[in-house]
Amino acid sequence: MKQTTVYLCQNCGASSPKWLGKCPQCGQWNTYVEERVAKPTKGRAGLVEVSRNAVPQPLSQVQSSNERRIDSGLEEVNRLLGGGIVPGSMLLLGGEPGIGKSTLSLQIALSATLDRVLYVSGEESANQVKIRADRLAASTDRCLVLNETLLENILTQCQGVNPSLLVVDSIQTLYSEAVESSAGSVSQVRECAAGLLRYAKTSGVPVLLIGHINKEGTIAGPKVLEHIVDVVLQFEGDSTHMYRVLRSVKNRFGSTSELAMFEMQGDGLRQITNPSELLLGERDAGLSGVAVAAAVDGARPMLVEVQALVSSAAYGTPQRSTTGFDVRRLNMLLAVLEKRAGFKLATKDVFLNIAGGVRIVDPGIDLAVVAAVLSSNFDVALPPDTAFAAEVGLSGEVRGVARLEQRIAEGQRLGFAHTMAAAHAREGAIPQRLKAHYRPIARVEELAKWVLGR
């Protein structure tokens, strides 16, 4: 093996024979770091050595079977993964510092129905892991703790222990002797992830990796890290709030249209099987500027509270601020109200908040946002038995949304007598049993008259 010196971008992994101030691939500045890498010598005629056991076969002869799933011990995680953890798979869990990644991974390690789990901690001592396990109040007999950051030693211990699940906290702390660079560099992250992937595929042991994120909110390290793993999970939420959201960004064995919600408590993360009741638990029906939206995140319908505050601009430039909602979409909805409905909001401050600290990207809450803004602007409380589920177009039309039946049924289950939705709903979108709870609306002008006419 020959040693060569290259410059690698610590953001995207691009290489260059010389130092560059700006990366031509990702456009970031001052991210190139000099690293020494091993350059393999070429074999005969520069050919790559391949396995002699690999034989092409028709796709029709390949046996397809449903993989046996491993119970993670957490019902919400099993549903998010599509039924459980697939043997031999590699999962990547990313999130901000202090969000609860180590707590969630340790809960899985202690709750999974497995004979033996190996928890490799490169950031905390065994005593710190034990303190967290005692706080979780779970059985620790089947969980083994290893404080190690050298990849070769970890794989050696895995051969001796033969675990049913391997948890690594975190991938950025590991390093391999085959690469001459510091832990956390692009080369080390790529080499260690590839080594753990080979172990997972050859042994059939699932591997759960914890990954740091950078200031942009993406998982730190080379992008190839997300490509080689089978599942990428994003743990989101504000550290000042108690609620956490686990999203599936990539899943080779299931759908990515799912999410799981947790509540951070003193004894760990508690699963939230019914987020609608929790997010609406502190709602005050007599206040203006509050509307309930029947949103869908993935395949799960849930009711969220949309809070708006409209006031006269105290400074020269009106403020537009949102929490849990896209501020650009709020500006678009305010422009629609001014252009199509004639409301002058250009000189007023508008603040919008999705209660509970959750972030909603579903366009089906547009109608609830407009209703909350109008309610706050005219200081008129909305009826407490009405929810909203529709998208608002640029011409002021109210458009239909997906999974309307589930949205109306969720509102009915929680006591909402009516769900205001698009008048031109698709045929069959509303079954006969839910017709009485469906209130049609065609344009935002009708919503304004309905709010003011009460």
> CA-to-CA distance for 327 and 324, rounded, in angstroms?
9
Residue 358 to residue 295: CA distance in whole angstroms: 12
217 annotated as belonging to a binding site for a ligand? no
CB-side neighbour CA atoms (13 Å) of 10? 17
Residue 98 assigned to a binding site: yes
Answer yes or no: are the C-beta atoms of 219 and 211 closer than 8 Å: yes
Query: Quick one: tokens of 123?
Result: 């950031």
Q: Are 172 and 192 in contact (CB under 8 A)?
A: no
Q: How many CB atoms lie within 10 A of CB 329?
A: 17
Do 179 and 171 form a contact (C-beta atoms < 8 A)?
Answer: no
Distances (CA, A) of 227 to 74, 155, 216, 222, 230: 26, 22, 19, 9, 8
Judge whether 428 is annotated as a binding position. no
Q: Binding site annotation covers 99?
A: yes
Q: What is the 3-state secondary structure of 231-292?
A: EEEEEECCCCCCEEEEEEEEECCCCCCCEEEEEEECCEEEEECCHHHHHCCCCCCCCCCEEE
Q: Tell me: is residue 222 an annotated ligand-binding position.
A: no
Q: Is 96 annotated as a binding residue?
A: yes
Structure tokens at 246: 């686990």
Find out whether 94 is annotated in a ligand binding site: no
Contact 400, 370 (CB under 8 A): no
The two tokens of residue 202 are 């050859």
Whether residue 101 is annotated as binding a ligand: the answer is yes
Could you tell me which residues are annotated as the binding site for ATP? 95-102
Could you tell me which residues are annotated as the binding site? 95-102
